[in-house]
Structure 1
Amino acid sequence: MSDDDAATGDPAVTHGDDSGHEALPAQDVAAQQPAEREWWDDPRMPWKGKPRRVDIACWASFCVIGIYGLVTLPLRPILLSLNTYVLAAVSGSSIAMVDFGTQLRAGTSHFGWFGLLLGALSVMKFDWIFWWAGRLWGHGIIEVVAGRSRWAARTAHHAERLADRFGAPAVVLAWFIPFIPTAIVDAFVGNARMKLRNFLLLDFAAAVVNRGIYFYLGYRIGAPAKHLVDLISKYSYYISIVLVVGIIASSIIRSRRQRA
């Protein structure tokens, strides 16, 4: 190589390495490196290809559900100590339903039926989002839910079989079969093109019956159930602290497992 060539510093004519192979031009090396993926280009996402605005809106709704659950979980005992109707509106808590039943039995309140309906609306308030996800992404959202853990995959499999076998009645049955994730059933019927109006009617009817079971238990048991609710209300702040510590601890453990 001449001194003139060395002086130019042209990357296409630069020195070879010790093995005798000529180094690649800088632009070719850059071209061979894989391009950085966009955040949405992830096989764990339910959509295929670049998401639309409606996909992002639905995915953001799932984030809202998660945040809502984390925020309200430690607040439930405190809400019980403040007002049972507020607790029913926020979470549809079974403890609130029991309390309404005991109040009706004792004659201290005649609006327990309103609390029952309020609780039913509360426990189903996010179900339409899973129906919407099933309508948008089909089986993709079921794979997302099932991919969280082996337990999630197993329960999702049973929920999908239930929905495939019974169709629309599975929306009702899922409320009364333990450990069956209703989210999978809701997504399945959404994918099956069930109308939103029909889905909401079935879901609300099942929610009323489900909450009504706890309401009836409170009514039948009476004073002992009321004493239990009052005891929970008395120690509500301590229960909330325990729940907050549990949420933080589980988050740390999950984060460590993911890094491992």
Structure 2
Amino acid sequence: MNDEPKPVEEAKSEQWWQDQGMPWRKEPGKSDYWCLGWFGFIGVFSLVLLPTRAWFITAAPDWLAMLTGSRTAVAVTGALGSQGEMPHWPWVLVVASIFSLKFDWVYWWAGKLWGRGIIEVWAGQSKRAARNYERAERWAEKLGPVGFLVAYLPIPLPLMQVVFVLAGATNMSLRRFLVYDYVASTLWLGLYFWLGWRFGAPIVDVLELYARVAMWVALGLMAFIIFTTYLAQRRKAAAKVDKTA
């Protein structure tokens, strides 16, 4: 007779990949692990960049723009260029437009591998996150390719991530994705550069003031992120204990 139930531990080990905190709904393969690893790298990169960004934006905005495609750094580059302090600004713009896409393909890849899986993981963090991602998905579906351009708007919705993931989930080719993304990103970088060039002198003055407090602001943000992450982990651990009790 093969009707005997499997041990609980064995059943759990066979279905660990079905946990709600995982983006896939199948047993993951090498590509799944690599993609998830890239998301981990993006998180570490962003965390490391947080305190150094303040220094770069005041001491070397051209390098920050070229290494990260930062729109703020591009605006500062335009401001300094208008004052004759950065004659190599055309090269900064060219390199920044390329490196602004440095991690976008990872989101496309996640959509290609898991469909909406990664969006569901993000949306499951809280009720507010669920509402925000639901709105972002509605926007992305209505806008179509125009969503790439709107995704760069500084609005309090995770529209950019959703647009990129859905592009992969709907089988958009990587080449087409990169073309849409490059055009949208470059147009926005050009706008930020023009704003910096147009209002150059005031921006430079603000930059000098910002340099005095930037590092302290960055350190404060780092402490806040670490503290909130610690609290979130404690809440998750407490919730697991309550479920098993």
Task: Classify the TM-score, shorter chain.
Answer: 0.7 to 0.9
The Cα shift of 1:251 comes to: 1.8
SS of residue matched to 2:171? coil
Question: Structure 1 residues 81, 192: closer, same or farther in 2, change over 3 A?
Answer: same
For residues 41-66 of structure 1, the C-alpha deviation after alignment (integer angstroms, 9 at most, x for no partner) is 42321212211111111111111111
Q: Equivalent of 2:212, from 230, 234, 241? A: 234
2:53 equivalent to 1:76 = yes
Q: State the alpha-carbon separation in 2 of the partners of residues 203 and 30 from structure 1.
A: 51
- Partner of 2:243 in structure 1? none
User: Aligned AA for 2:19?
Assistant: D
TM-score by length of 2: 0.84
Question: 1:168-183 maps to which residues of 2 (within 5 A)?
Answer: 168-176=145-153, 178-181=155-158, 182-183=160-161
The Cα shift of 1:131 comes to: 0.5
User: Aligned AA for 1:195?
Assistant: S
- Partner of 2:164 in structure 1? 186
2:67 equivalent to 1:111 = no
2:142 equivalent to 1:165 = yes
For residues 67-115 of structure 1, the C-alpha deviation after alignment (integer angstroms, 9 at most, x for no partner) is 1111111110122233112211343333312211112211222322332
The Cα shift of 1:136 comes to: 0.9
Superposition CA RMSD, Å: 2.3
SS of residue matched to 1:167? helix
Question: 1:115-134 maps to which residues of 2 (within 5 A)?
Answer: 115-134=92-111
Question: Percent of pairs identical after alignment?
Answer: 34
CA contact (8 A) 1:89 1:118 kept: yes
CA contact (8 A) 2:20 2:121 kept: no
Question: Structure 1 residues 231, 156: closer, same or farther in 2, change over 3 A?
Answer: same
Q: State the alpha-carbon separation in 2 of the partners of residues 238 and 189 from structure 1.
A: 39
Unpaired runs of 5+ residues, structure 1, are 1-28
2:45 equivalent to 1:37 = no
SS of residue matched to 2:76? helix
Q: Equivalent of 2:225, from 230, 235, 247? A: 247
2:41 equivalent to 1:64 = yes
Question: Structure 1 residues 179, 60: closer, same or farther in 2, change over 3 A?
Answer: same
Q: State the alpha-carbon separation in 2 of the partners of residues 66 and 250 from structure 1.
A: 15
For residues 163-208 of structure 1, the C-alpha deviation after alignment (integer angstroms, 9 at most, x for no partner) is 2223222222222261232111111111111111111111111111
Q: Equivalent of 1:101, from 50, 59, 78? A: 78
CA contact (8 A) 1:95 1:229 kept: no
* Greater displacement, 249-258 / 128-137: 249-258
TM-score by length of 1: 0.80
User: Aligned AA for 1:205?
Assistant: V
The Cα shift of 1:151 comes to: 2.6
**Higher Rg:** 1
Unpaired runs of 5+ residues, structure 2, are 239-245
The Cα shift of 1:32 comes to: 4.8
Q: Equivalent of 1:55, from 8, 15, 32? A: 32
User: Aligned AA for 2:114?
Assistant: W
Paired residues, number:
232
Greater helix fraction, Structure 1 or Structure 2: 2
SS of residue matched to 2:25? coil
Question: 1:186-225 maps to which residues of 2 (within 5 A)?
Answer: 186-225=164-203
CA contact (8 A) 1:78 1:233 kept: yes
Q: State the alpha-carbon separation in 2 of the partners of residues 31 and 138 from structure 1.
A: 31
Question: Structure 1 residues 203, 243: closer, same or farther in 2, change over 3 A?
Answer: same
Q: State the alpha-carbon separation in 2 of the partners of residues 82 and 222 from structure 1.
A: 17
- Partner of 1:12 in structure 2? none
Question: Structure 1 residues 120, 152: closer, same or farther in 2, change over 3 A?
Answer: farther
CA contact (8 A) 1:174 1:180 kept: no
CA contact (8 A) 1:146 1:156 kept: yes
Q: State the alpha-carbon separation in 2 of the partners of residues 180 and 247 from structure 1.
A: 20
Q: Equivalent of 1:144, from 103, 121, 125? A: 121
